[in-house]
Amino acid sequence: MGSRKPFEADDPMPEEYREILIRLLKVHADTETSVIFPETDWIRSHMNLAPTPEERVIEASIYADELRHGLIFYKLLRELGTEVTVDYFRKERTLDFANVPVETWMDVVLLHFLTEKAGMLQLRDLIGCSYGPLARVIPRITAEENSHTNIGYRHLQRLCRSAAGREEAQALLPKWYPAALDMFGSSKSRWMGRYIEWGLKKSRYDDLRQEFIREVNPKLERLELAPPDPLTNRKIL
């Protein structure tokens, strides 16, 4: 891309650029709208698992943010002439983390802390990207996603004040830690280099994974939790 100014929705674009841009937007729309699908039914289940009225309100706020973020990506797709409906995502799920069973409040807490951290790092990598409409909305979305992962960590801190809480968290980390690492995608992905070449992303997937480990592991250790082996229980390497 060099020093070319960012593309706008009505600019002529190379076909390859348009193809990978639309794919990127669909992946993020899929991620943000995972909560609306009946097969996961996250909103109702997570609200029911929240132990206090205050935490239920926080959950509702988080998912209102997620749905609004999804709508932003839908609108970006529409501006490119791509109309995407909810039915599309029911047929083509691109991320496995949405299918991980959520059975306890600790599951919800680790999901927020770990998977939202992974999502935030990927969004942060889009700041200053080569597509103007995306570059303009990403800083706010990234900040809100960062607040979600911080909320998850604050919940985790409170739960880990007790030995029972630390024991439960340690038992569930092998479920959520690898799911978060898998969210970055395959190290052999054919899309990664193209995203970087066209200025839509800056970092390789392995680099983002290592950034996740560097940021998350010390936080776990401060709570007397042992970070799992980053290669154990992984589906995508």
Give the residue-averaged pLDDT of 92-97: 62
- Which parts of the chain fold into alpha helices (H)? 15-32, 42-49, 53-79, 86-91, 105-110, 116-124, 132-159, 163-182, 192-197, 205-222
| Mean pLDDT lowest among 110-114, 141-145, 186-190 | 186-190
| Mean pLDDT lowest among 35-39, 116-120, 126-130, 229-233 | 35-39
Give the residue-averaged pLDDT of 178-201: 94
In a domain, 237, yes or no: no
* Top-confidence residue, 45 or 122: 122
Residue 92 reports pLDDT greater than 90? no
In a domain, 232, yes or no: no
**Radius of gyration of the chain from its Cα atoms, rounded to whole angstroms:** 18
Q: Kindly report the average pLDDT of the chain as a whole number.
A: 90
In a domain, 93, yes or no: yes
Residue 126 reports pLDDT greater than 80? yes
Residue 165 reports pLDDT greater than 70? yes
In a domain, 9, yes or no: no
Our count of domains for the chain comes to 1
Give the residue-averaged pLDDT of 152-169: 98
pLDDT tier at 86, thresholds 50, 70, 90: low
Give the residue-averaged pLDDT of 41-52: 79
The answer to whether the CB of 146 falls within 8 A of the CB of 69 is no
Share of the chain above pLDDT 90, in %: 73
pLDDT of residue 97: 79
- Provide the CA 203 distance to its chain's centre, in angstroms: 16
Picking from 80, 185, 184, the residue whose alpha carbon sits closest to that of residue 131 is 80
In a domain, 25, yes or no: yes
Strand partners, 7: 131
Q: Residue 154 is part of a domain; what is its CATH number?
A: 1.20.1260.10
Domain extent at residue 84: 15-222
Would you tell me the crossing angle of helices 163-182 and 116-124 to the nearest 10 degrees? Answer: 40
Give the residue-averaged pLDDT of 143-159: 97
Distance CA 3, CA 130 (A): 10
* Residue 61: strand, helix, or coil: helix
* Residue 51: strand, helix, or coil: coil
In a domain, 4, yes or no: no
pLDDT tier at 89, thresholds 50, 70, 90: low
* Top-confidence residue, 210 or 31: 210
The answer to whether the CB of 37 falls within 8 A of the CB of 85 is no
In a domain, 114, yes or no: yes
